[in-house]
Chain A
Amino acid sequence: MSAVLRCGAALTSGLVFGLGLSLSGMLDPARVRGFLDVLGDWDPSLVVVLGGAVTVSTAGYALARRLHRPALDSGFHWPRPTRIDGPLVLGAVLFGIGWGLSGFCPGPAVAALSTGTAPVAVFVGAMLAGMAVHDLGPVGRLTPGGRAPR
């Protein structure tokens, strides 16, 4: 029963996330690249998006830390504490290059699939391939990224 409730909670959370992305302008790669164009014609609106999102979730996480367990599960699935290491930094560098080239990061790209736009499908297909190459290849077996996804 609680598994069904967890699916319902996840569906609702995903819907709110996707609606938020749609409202915020994060689905528009030109806007995202404008946000990254700090050295050129900078569009600061995504600072407001990130600021709003972090403010609300900081309150949410502060509350979560005071609780023994979430409402629908026996415990919190906190990420395992790990070191700041080479894979973290190299991965973030590669992600940033792809983000800057396209204006897409994973959340908006996956959400935008439902608009039926072919270039989005190309991006997401390549993204899934990149994930698979990491997770199934030698790198994924050596780094925590392959096993600790969140």
Chain B
Amino acid sequence: MTAYLPSLAGGLLIGLSATMLILLNGRIAGVSGIVAGLGRVPRGCWFSDLAFVVGLLLGPVAFLGMTGAWPEMRIAAELPVLALAGFLVGFGTRLGSGCTSGHGVCGLARFSPRSLVAVLTFLTSGILTVALTGALS
């Protein structure tokens, strides 16, 4: 059971982050939308979006400072697969208006039917992709 404590603590922090952003700035913590917004002409929320991304980048650095090690990262995919996957994630999250954070965390917390459909869809598609690539390898 204690093996799940870091996962629980991490999840609570992610929820706290989304709560801070809505109660302080009135904004949804959706990473794909925030990152894509940085590609537009700076106006209004552009600087706070940039600040959010800088904070996001500092997260693993803070983890390094607290634990003395970077978070574990085991990347099995070859570079061409990573590039294809990255493109699909970028295009797909824009077409579908959100990712794991915007639809998954914030959308479900808002009881958005649209986000529920998106979450069930990308979970199913991800599960089938892992099953198929596992069967092929």
Interface residues of A (CB under 8 A from B): 3, 6-31, 33, 36-40, 45-46, 48-61, 63-64, 67, 69-73, 75-79, 82-84, 87-107, 109-115, 117, 119-120, 122-135, 139-140, 143-146, 148-150
**Chain A interface mostly helix, strand, loop or mixed?**
helix
With the chains together, A67 CA to B22 CA distance in Å?
A: 11
Chain B residues near A115: list those with CB within 8 A. Answer: 60, 70-71, 73
Check if A104 sits within 8 Å of B35, measured CB to CB: no
Check if A17 sits within 8 Å of B47, measured CB to CB: no
Check if A10 sits within 8 Å of B15, measured CB to CB: no
Check if B87 sits within 8 Å of A95, measured CB to CB: no
Check if A130 sits within 8 Å of B92, measured CB to CB: yes
CB-based nearest B residue for A4: B47
Chain A residues near B19: list those with CB within 8 A. Answer: 56-57, 59-61, 63
Q: Which of A25, A61, A96 is within 8 Å of B110, CB to CB?
A: A61
Check if B53 sits within 8 Å of A126, measured CB to CB: no
Check if B127 sits within 8 Å of A36, measured CB to CB: yes
Docked complex: B49-92 residues within 8 A CB-CB of A? 49, 51-63, 70-77, 79, 81-92
B83 to chain A, nearest CB (A): 4
A122 to chain B, nearest CB (A): 5
Give 18 new A-B contacts, CB below 8 A, not counting A39-B127, A60-B19, A104-B82: A13-B20, A14-B51, A15-B59, A16-B14, A19-B63, A28-B71, A50-B11, A52-B12, A56-B19, A60-B15, A70-B27, A91-B97, A96-B125, A107-B100, A112-B71, A115-B60, A127-B86, A130-B94
Chain A CB within 10 A, most for which of B62, B91, B93: B91
Check if A120 sits within 8 Å of B75, measured CB to CB: yes
**Chain B interface mostly helix, strand, loop or mixed?**
helix
Check if A150 sits within 8 Å of B96, measured CB to CB: no
B93 to chain A, nearest CB (A): 5
Chain A residues near B61: list those with CB within 8 A. Answer: 114
Q: Which of B4, B82, B88 is within 8 Å of A119, CB to CB?
A: B82
Check if A6 sits within 8 Å of B124, measured CB to CB: no
